[in-house]
Structures are given as C-alpha cells and as structure tokens.
Amino acid sequence: MGRATAKLIITLTLAGLAGAACRDSTAPVRGSSGPAPQLGLVTGALTVSTTTSGSNLDPDGYTVTVDVLLSSSPIAPNGSVTFTDVPPGVAVVTLSGVAGNCTVTTGNPQVVTVPIGGTAGAAFSIDCAGSPPPPPPPPPPPPPPPPPPPPSARVTGSGQVGAGSPTPGNNVVTFDFDVRSDLTGRFTGTDYADVRPDGRPASLTVDPTADPATSITAYRNSSTKCSDPSRGVEVDANGREDTGGVVSFTLSVCDNGPAGSGSDFFDVFIPSEGFRVSGTVTSGDIVKQ
C-alpha cells in the first residue's frame, strides 16, 4: 500500500502542474481592468501611391482612406503614403478629393490583401485636363453708319477783276473755276499785271485729274468777306504756279447778284508769298448753288 499511495500522489501533482501551465498559455488573465490583449498578434503595412498626368493638376492633392483602419491621410498628386499596423486580410482603399477637371483612370476604390508581416500596395493613376479655353469674346459691335454726305454745294465762276483787256501788263485778273463741297473741282487764275521775263502772265492752277499734286482741301459754305456771309464760299486749295511750284491758297467769292451786275466779289490769298488779289467782278459771273 505504501508504494501505491506514493505513486498516486506524484500523478496528481503532475496533472495539477500541467493544468496550470495550460491555463497560463491560453486563458486571459483577468484583473481590475478586464481581460488583457492577446499577445503575439502580427500586422501588415499598406503603401498607396498616386501618379497624376496632364495639366492644371490639383494643387491640394487628394485624400486616401483605408476602411479597416477607419482613418485617412492626405497624399500628393504624385506621391505615396504608407499605413502601418494594418490588420492582415482584405482592405478597401479609396481615393477622394479629386478636382473636377481630373479623372481617376484606375479602379477606385481598390481592394487589396494585406499579408501578415508584409506590405500590400494600391496604385492610382489620375489624368487632369487643362482649364477649358475661355469663351471667345463677343464680336465687336458693327461700326456706326457713315455720316450722311454733306449737303451738296457748288460754286462756279468765270470772268475778270479789273478794267481793260486781259493782256500782259494790264491790271486784270481772270478766273475760271468749278468747285464742289465734296472737294472736287478745278481752278485757274491768271494775273496779267505780273508778267514773266518771257512775256507770259503769272498763273495758278488746280486740276487734280491732270496734276495730282494739286487739290481742293476745304470747302466752307459761307464767307465773312461778303455783306451777306450766306452768299459766299471759301475754298482752301493747293495749286501749281506757272513757275512750277505748288502753293497753298484760299479762294473767297461772293455771289451778290446776276451776271453783269458788277456786285460779285473775288479774292485770292497766297500766305507763303504774302500775295493777294481781290476786287469786284467787272465782267463774268459767280454762281453759288
């Protein structure tokens, strides 16, 4: 009986030790704060990258979210971010905050498997378009209609100032002109008192058709040289002298009465030469239309 009793005691003691060891390795140790975490759990990592092409990239970058972590992180348009302590297994990765002119060209969200102790990856490609061109400017308003033509006006005349015949040496000036308010027309004046060495009287001519250097430059439908200015006309012009030079001059005329009345008036002034000839029309007529 002594040997049997000792063997039973040893067997019970070994069983008790085995039970205690088994309880220490598998059962939580409870204390005042509740069960302690399980020891020795291994996690993984997850790296997310972005590649953005195009123009007008989103300056703020994007946001990447991992569902199993319930957390997000900013990420640059061309960058990467790594999440650690990710539970192993399936994770859903979502890219957000993408500007309206950009498009994610890969899957979004992406499903990845995080290995125990390893690193999984999720790569997003984004393409951004430039800002749309601004709308074309509105067409310019149509130009205003041209002003109405000035009232048609015209003055004609032929005759002479001074008595006697128009021969060299006589104090006589002859004229012949037809000028319109649209600055077309012609003029010829001959001063018989001004005789050239070859015996020809001095002359002044405006005829743009035959001599483009000559022209009518202004037409005023009145003149203060007339007792009734409304009966007058003043014309500025460039004319060629018989000596070959072109001079500017002003012609002032008054239609004060019918032909032969001796009341019409004629005046030519060349400022550059200080030359003026004027007087009552002794023969011929000036007509303002």
114 pLDDT higher than 60: yes
Burial (CB < 10 A; 0-12, 13-18, 19+), residue 40, is exposed
Report which of 107, 47, 102, 104 is spatially closest to residue 80, judged by C-alpha positions: 47
- 67, 48 contact by CB (below 8 A): no
Comparing C-alpha atoms, which of 155, 157, 154 is closest to residue 283? Answer: 157
Is the full-model pTM beyond 0.75?
no
More confident residue, 12 or 143: 143
Helix, strand, coil % in the chain, rounded to nearest 5: 10, 45, 40
Say which amino acid occupies 191.
Answer: D
- 3-state SS class at 209: coil
Tens-digit pLDDT profile for residues 138-189: 999 999 987 765 668 999 999 999 999 999 999 999 999 999 999 999 999 9
- On average, the pLDDT of the chain sits at 85
Smallest CA-to-CA distance from 124 within 167, 81, 159, 168 is with 81
Convert the pLDDT of each residue in 182-210 to its tens digit: 999 999 999 999 999 999 999 999 999 99
